[in-house]
Amino acid sequence: MKKLQLIASMMLGLAAAGSASADSGKDVYTKVCAVCHAGGIAAAPRFGNAGDWAPRIAKGVPTLYQSALKGTPKGMPAKGGNLTLPDADVKAAVDYMIAAAGGAKAAAAEPKKEAKPEPKKEAKAEAKPEPKKEVAKEEAPKAAPAPAPVAVASAAAEAAPAPTVSAADVNSFNRLLKPASKRNLPPAEDGIHDPSNDGTHALQPPLAAFGSLPKSFAGNRVNWVEAISTGKIKPRYDRVDATAEPIIMDMNVVREVKGSMPDVVYPHKQHTQWLDCSNCHPAIFTPQKGANQISMAAILLGEKCGVCHGKVAFPVSECRLCHSKKKDLAPSAQATAK
Amino acid sequence: MGLLLALAAVLFVDVQDAQAEYGDVVINNHSDGAGMRPVIFPHWFHRVRFACKVCHADLGFKFKAGGNDINMVKIIDGQFCGACHNGEVAWSVENCNLCHSAKPGTPTQVHESTIQKLAQPVGAPQKK
Residue A57 has what pLDDT? 83
Closest residue in B to A316 (Cα) is B114
A206-249 pLDDT per residue, tens: 999 999 999 999 999 999 999 999 999 999 999 999 999 999 99
Flag if B97 and A301 touch (Cβ within 8 Å).
no
Which one of A15-24, A135-144, A193-202 scores highest in mean pLDDT? A193-202
Q: Quick one: which of B96, B101, B55, B93 has its CA closest to B75?
A: B93
Phi, psi of A214 (to 5 degrees): -60, 145
Position A284 scores a pLDDT of 96
Task: Please list, in sequence order, all residues whose beta carbon lies within 8 angstroms of the beta carbon of residue B6, skipping any fewer than 6 positions away.
Answer: none
Q: Is the pLDDT of residue A133 over 60?
A: no
For residue B83, the chain A residues in CB contact (below 8 A) are 239
Whether B43 and A312 lie within 8 Å, measured CB to CB:
yes
List the single best residue of B32, B36, B37, B44 to mutate versus A (max A Cβ within 10 A). Answer: B44
Residue A177 confidence class, pLDDT cut points 50, 70, 90:
confident
Residue A119 above 60 pLDDT? no
CB spacing of A197 vs B1 below 8 angstroms: no
B25-27 β-sheet, strand order:
B39-41, B25-27, B109-110
Q: What is the band of A122 on the pLDDT scale with cuts at 50, 70, 90?
A: very low
Residues with Cβ within 8 Å of A24's Cβ and at least 6 positions away in sequence, in order, are: A88, A89, A92, A93
Q: How far is CA B97 from CA A186, A193, B79, B84, B111, in A?
A: 16, 11, 19, 17, 20
The CA distance from A95 to A60, in Å, is 12
Contact call for B106 and A197, based on CB within 8 A: no
Question: Which residues in chain B have their CB less than 8 angstroms from residue A203's CB?
Answer: 42, 98, 101
Alpha-carbon distance of A134 to A98, in angstroms, equals 18
pLDDT, tens digit, 9 for 90 and up, residues A270-293:
999 999 999 999 999 999 888 999
A170 by Cβ neighbours in 10 Å (0-12 / 13-18 / 19+) ranks as exposed
Judge: B123–A238 Cβ closer than 8 Å, yes or no: no
Among B18, B13, B38, residue whose Cα is nearest residue B108: B38
* Pairwise CB contact (< 8 Å): A301 & B4: yes
Interface contact flag, A301 B118, Cβ < 8 Å: yes
Contacts of B45 in chain A (CB under 8 A): 204, 206, 209
Long-range contacts at A169-178 (CB < 8 A, ≥ 24 apart): A169/A145, A170/A145, A175/B123, A176/B121, A176/B122, A176/B123, A177/B122, A178/B19, A178/B122
Torsions phi, psi of B90, nearest 5?
Answer: -140, 170
At residue A252 the predicted structure's pLDDT band, cuts being 50, 70 and 90, is: very high
Most A CBs within 10 Å, among B12, B19, B127, to test the A interface: B19
* Whole-number average pLDDT of chain B: 86
> Please, which pLDDT band fits residue A124 given cuts at 50, 70 and 90?
very low
Residue A66 pLDDT: 82
**Nearest residue in chain B measured CA to CA from A228:** B48
* pLDDT score, position A336: 52
Closest residue of B to A184, CA-based?
B21
Within chain B, how many helices (H) and strands (E) appear? 7, 3
For residue A205, the one-letter residue type is: P
**Closest CA relative to residue A135, chosen from A50, A38, A223, A48:** A48
Residues of chain B in contact with residue A299, where contact means CB-CB under 8 angstroms, are: 114
Q: In chain A, what are the helix, strand and coil shares in percent, each to the nearest 5?
A: 50, 5, 45
Rg (CA), chain A: 27
CB contact under 8 A, A206 and B122: no
Interface of B with A in 87-106 (CB under 8 A): 89, 95-104, 106
**Contact (CB<8Å) B97/A199:** yes
B-chain CB neighbours of A184 within 8 Å are: 21
Nearest CA of chain B to the CA of A167: how many Å? 12
d(CA A69, CA A124): 28
Give the strand pairing for B25-27 and A263-267. unpaired
Measured between CB atoms, which of A194, A238, A300 is closest to B101?
Answer: A194
Q: How far is A2 from chain B (nearest CA, A)?
A: 44
Whether residue B59 lies within 8 A of chain A, CB to CB, comes out as yes
Is B107 within 8 Å of B11 (Cβ atoms)?
yes
Sheet with A323-325: strands ordered across: A252-255, A263-267, A323-325
For residue A23, count other CB atoms closer than 10 A to its CB.
Answer: 13
Q: Which of A203, A246, A235, A205 shows the shortest CA–CA distance to B48?
A: A235
Q: What is the mean pLDDT of chain A?
A: 76
Give the residue from A193, A248, A304 with the most B CB atoms within 10 Å of its CB, the best one to mutate. Answer: A193
pLDDT tens digits, A38-66: 777 767 888 887 778 887 888 888 888 88
pTM: 0.61
CB contacts of A316 in chain B (<8 Å) are 114
- Residue A30's contacts (CB-CB under 8 Å, 6 or more residues apart) are A115, A186, A189
* B26: β partners: B40, B109
Least confident of A157-161, A310-314, A318-322, B30-34: A157-161
**Which neighbouring-strand residues pair with B109?**
B26
Contact criterion met (CB < 8 Å) for A276 and B57: yes
Cα of B29 to nearest chain A Cα, Å = 16
